[in-house]
Structure 1
Amino acid sequence: MTHPMGTPFHLSSWLRIIYETYSFEPGLLVYTNESDEIAGLFPYFVIKGLFSRPRIVSVPFSDYSFPLTMGDDVENKILNYLVEQNTSSFIEIRGPVRDNSKYKRHNIYQGFNLELDPEPSKVYKNFDKRTIVRCIKKAEKEGVKIIEDNSPEGVDNFYRLNKLTRKKHGVPCQSRKFFEKITEHMVSKGLAFILLAKFDSDVIAASMFFKFNKTIYYKYNASDPAYLSSKTPNHLLIWHLIEKSCLQGFDTIDLGRTAKDNHGLTRYKNMWGAKPYELPYYYYPVAKGASSQDENGISYKIMTGIWKHLPDIIVDRVGPVLMKQLA
């Protein structure tokens, strides 16, 4: 079943990555019409907590994943069936879905799309000149180079920087196995790729992108804090991505999920010319779980504050375990 709303987070490759890394119980609801044709699909995972009842999430580690259906009535039937058969502590659907009276809408996130053009200069002219354009030119002047590297060495460089970046922000990092599985099931199939920013012989920034249909998905970004202000590598890396995507015929770059109260990141994405879109999540019976937490909340700030100061040996061992619980 092909669907115009399909994303890489609906692909069997992505679902396999999650299953093979974390062993969550996978589920797939399939709705067929009177002609025995598939009219709806809904992938999800059942996640068992250490001290809580299982919960249903569609889909862990994804900005969004939702039922793909042919018609509003089919979507409602799938959502209602999930509630009727539910034995979990709660259900989390990473929207958008059409409002359903049984589910609680939680509206703390937004996404950002950057529209592309066959001529990259037309996208470039919409960049904020005082910040974005200046930083691109600075990185070029400093001699930063952007390369694509999907080799094991490229994955090593990305993972090293990803651990640095996640700790800087006070949040746990995915396991090495998770990114190895992305390489195995998506990079190898042309569904994902890695860009590196190099200064001399050092890799100082790295990003991983997914691609599906005519859209590039900016999934993970990482960088060395020691070079961020002096070399501004991320700006040049993103500009390289935009230029490359325009010339390859892509229509859009999805810059990913952002909490609405994260004003700094919101402003940053706006400065590239990206436009926000609503990204509500839906819960039954009430909003629960890590994705429902306000980033300005006290518990979130305490957790991130502690994590920033933990020894690396603890972060490396505990991080992947926490990610499994917070999925």
Structure 2
Amino acid sequence: MGVKVPRVRSGRWRCAGDCVELRCSVSQCAEGGGLWIWFLDPTDARWQALLAHPQACSFHHPAWMRLLQESYGYRPFVAAVPDGDGGVRAGLPIMEVHSVLTGRRWVALPFSDYCYPLAVDGAALEALTEGLVSQCTRRGAPCLEVRASLAHDGARAESTCLWHRIPLDDEASTWRRVARMHKGNTRQAERQGVSVVARTDLQAMHAFYHLHTITRRRHGVPVQPWDFFARLATLLATGYGFIALAMKDGQCVAAGVFLHWGETLIFKYAASDPERLELRPNNLIYAYALRWGCQNGYRYLDLGKTEVGQDGLCAFKRRWGAQEEPLIYSYVGGEQSRGMSAWLSKGMGMVIRHTPAWVCRASGALLYRHFG
């Protein structure tokens, strides 16, 4: 078997024509010669045609991959299985991460809570999985991290987080599933004069980022670089999502960043002013998102991942009517990156909490690209 393109050197791949084709020795080949795995550019029309799949969400979209590429320098591509008629029948967006701290990895996808392979049927999914495992278990191949479950003996599964997602029906039915406590807190926010506005401009993103830095610093966690959020604001302005600002007397007291594509509205980032939590602004943002999703025809409101053990946050999300399930990540080949050691993470948290905000921002600018 072998590679049907010029030899790959220094851990890099490059396209020959409109895609890279890797021959993988797998049993599913109809003609006995092996299975072709295409590596496509994310803007390729064949991949974009597959985005009509019901499981496709914002994380599968080429615009999200371009944002990560421009912000962190990752190399984007899509691993795809051809359908024999010029199109593709399965695909998975991947980014190649080169880091002096975490090594060379293929991640589907960095800074994305999950990223399911898209396939027209079970056979196509099996072919894609088999092809990726075959490719990434070769000597010198990078470790593959897929933020989804891969049904294959060659994939190692790990779950350290829970995933919460609210099914959306009509607004009245969806609101009935919300716990009485959340409904009461929402009414309390409204009585105290809090209101929510949805915007996509840079000024709104600045308001969010100010609160986001406060929130991350309070938790002792580095904050993502401002450049990432500035680019994200540009993306939102093209119809990719919005920023929900909870306002009280002209001041932003809480904010959320939402992405939407396909059937899912994703609550990606949240932040609030710790001095104004008695106003219950976060409840009002959740309620706004739930109603907005129903009114605009989305099937799910995704509340993102929560680490196992954060029982209070899990309960908070379930009370909005969210379904809870384990979030499984799969690893193929090599050793997966474990991120920062516990002692380093704890030490950094103490430093961030007790130093000026610029330390929180600077540490994020330095470290985030290595741990995506």
TM over 0.5: yes
Task: Please say if residues 64 and 96 of structure 1, whose CA atoms lie closer than 8 Å, have aligned partners that are also in contact.
Answer: no
Question: After superposition, where does 1:100-249 map in structure 2 within 5 Å?
Answer: 100-118=152-170, 120-129=171-180, 131-185=181-235, 187-228=236-277, 230-249=278-297
Report the AA paired with residue 318 of structure 1: S
CA distance in 2, matches of 1:52, 1:212: 31
CA distance in 2, matches of 1:92, 1:55: 7
CA distance in 1, matches of 2:90, 2:131: 8
Match of residue 272 from structure 1? 320
Report the AA paired with residue 285 of structure 2: L
CA distance in 2, matches of 1:51, 1:247: 45
- What's the C-alpha RMSD, in Å, of the aligned pairs? 2.1
Deviations 1:224-253 (A, max 9, x none): 11111x211000111112122212222210
| Counterpart selection for 2:85 from 35, 40, 50 | 35
Match of residue 55 from structure 1? 105
- The structural deviation recorded for 1:159 is 1.1
Identity %: 25
- Secondary structure (helix, strand or coil) at the match of 1:162 reads helix
Match of residue 57 from structure 2? 7
Q: Please list every run of 5 or more consecutive structure 2 residues that lacks an aligned counterpart in the other structure.
A: 1-48
- Secondary structure (helix, strand or coil) at the match of 2:289 reads helix
Task: Please say if residues 116 and 250 of structure 1, whose CA atoms lie closer than 8 Å, have aligned partners that are also in contact.
Answer: yes
Aligned length: 319
CA distance in 2, matches of 1:290, 1:207: 28
Report the AA paired with residue 30 of structure 1: A
CA distance in 2, matches of 1:207, 1:266: 18
Q: TM-score, normalised by structure 1?
A: 0.90
Structure 1 stretches (4+) deviating beyond 6 angstroms?
A: none
Bigger radius of gyration among the two: 2
Deviations 1:106-160 (A, max 9, x none): 0222211112222x2322222222x312211211111101111211211110111
CA distance in 1, matches of 2:101, 2:203: 38
Q: Please list every run of 5 or more consecutive structure 1 residues that lacks an aligned counterpart in the other structure.
A: none
Structure 1 residues 86 and 133: alpha-carbon distance in aligned structure 2, compared to 1, 3 A threshold = farther
Task: Please say if residues 56 and 88 of structure 1, whose CA atoms lie closer than 8 Å, have aligned partners that are also in contact.
Answer: no
| Counterpart selection for 1:256 from 284, 287, 304 | 304
CA distance in 2, matches of 1:316, 1:88: 34
